[in-house]
Amino acid sequence: MVELFNGDIIFESELNKGTNFYIKIPFKNTIYYEHTIRNNIHILANRNILILDSNSKNSQQILQYLLKWEINPILSYDSNQTIQLISSNIYHIDLIIVNEKTVEIIEQIKKILPLVPICILGCQITDLFRFDKQINLPINKYQLFDTLFNLCKDRKKVSDIELPKQISFSENMNNNVKILIAEDIQHNRKLLCDMLTQLKFTNIDFAGDGQDAIHKIQESYRIGIPYHILLLDLIMPKVNGFDVMEFIKWKKYPIPKIIVVTASVSDSIRDKCAKLGVEYFVTKPIDIIKLKNVLARVSNELPRT
């Protein structure tokens, strides 16, 4: 425990009298840590960090911190999805955070990305030699930043080697649009909302299934304030995403512009969406950079208000 807090144990022993132990743990207040974050946030900004954690509470907490520190989070919820993700070479991954319950995937990750540092998230870990750092639970903001900073400070961003031109969060984006998120999983709705907020969108609404989405779109036209963009999951209860698209096409609504949010974009899905007039996709796990680029393109096709 003392080592965990970067402290020391000192002892004095005298024959036939006993031993006195002294514990020294350095204390720094929150002002010091906030100052440290402000001065070093540029080291972490725009890095891509993959989070593999099925615990939505943990991943949401980490996500909020990473977005605040201008880090690009990539979320994955199971081992198979993670292996597919890193094998595809779609993302330039700088660091990986895995939950202690998914340690069986570590060797596979190291074979694919041998130079990428791996942090283990948990409090009951016995084989720390397999990881670069440990992040303790419950998550502490300052320990999290310190861990990520120390792993990244001497490493060049992977994306610096081959970085496609990206627009910044504030440039060339029409943020004055009304967005509807149609997604049945609450965690995914919250994730999308957090990312949209980070991208400076403020007029955001939610639908828990396709039927709810259709109702809200109809109601928005009835009151004369229709949605501009619809982030649409395909697999939902009651009414699925394809049925929502068919409804919008049948009603001949010019908006909302539809962005399909799905785990898989096969040729058959693309063809079916194209027939319904939909051409934009964001794949899960959601990458904020790709979401940003799609939204920039779609939002700028709309009239500015």
pLDDT tens per residue across span 104-116: 788 888 888 888 8
pLDDT of residue 247: 96
For residues 215, 221, 224, 225, the Cα torsion angle rounded to the nearest 10 degrees is 70
| Among the listed residues 236, 235, 299, the one whose alpha carbon sits nearest the alpha carbon of residue 269 | 235
Q: What residues in the chain have per-residue pLDDT under 70?
A: 1-6, 27-28, 88-91, 124-129, 159-172, 304-305
- Which amino acid is present at 255? I
| Among the listed residues 106, 111, 109, the one whose alpha carbon sits nearest the alpha carbon of residue 121 | 106
pLDDT of residue 138: 87
Give all strands (DSSP E) within the chain, no chain letters: 8-14, 18-24, 48-52, 72-76, 95-99, 118-121, 133-135, 178-182, 203-207, 229-233, 257-262, 280-283
Spatial contact of 143 and 135, defined as CB atoms under 8 Å apart: yes
Q: Strand pairing partners for 232?
A: 182, 260
Q: What angle do CA 46, 50, 52 make, to 5 degrees?
A: 155
For the segment(s) 30-161, the CATH number from 3.40.50.11540, 1.10.760.10, 3.40.50.2300, 3.30.390.30 is: 3.40.50.2300
CATH annotation of 178-299: 3.40.50.2300
pLDDT of residue 203: 95
Pinpoint the residues of the chain covered by CATH 3.40.50.2300. Answer: 30-161, 178-299
pLDDT of residue 99: 86
pTM beyond 0.95: no
52-84 confidence digits (pLDDT tens): 887 778 888 899 899 999 998 888 878 887 887
Locus of tokens 């004095």: 12
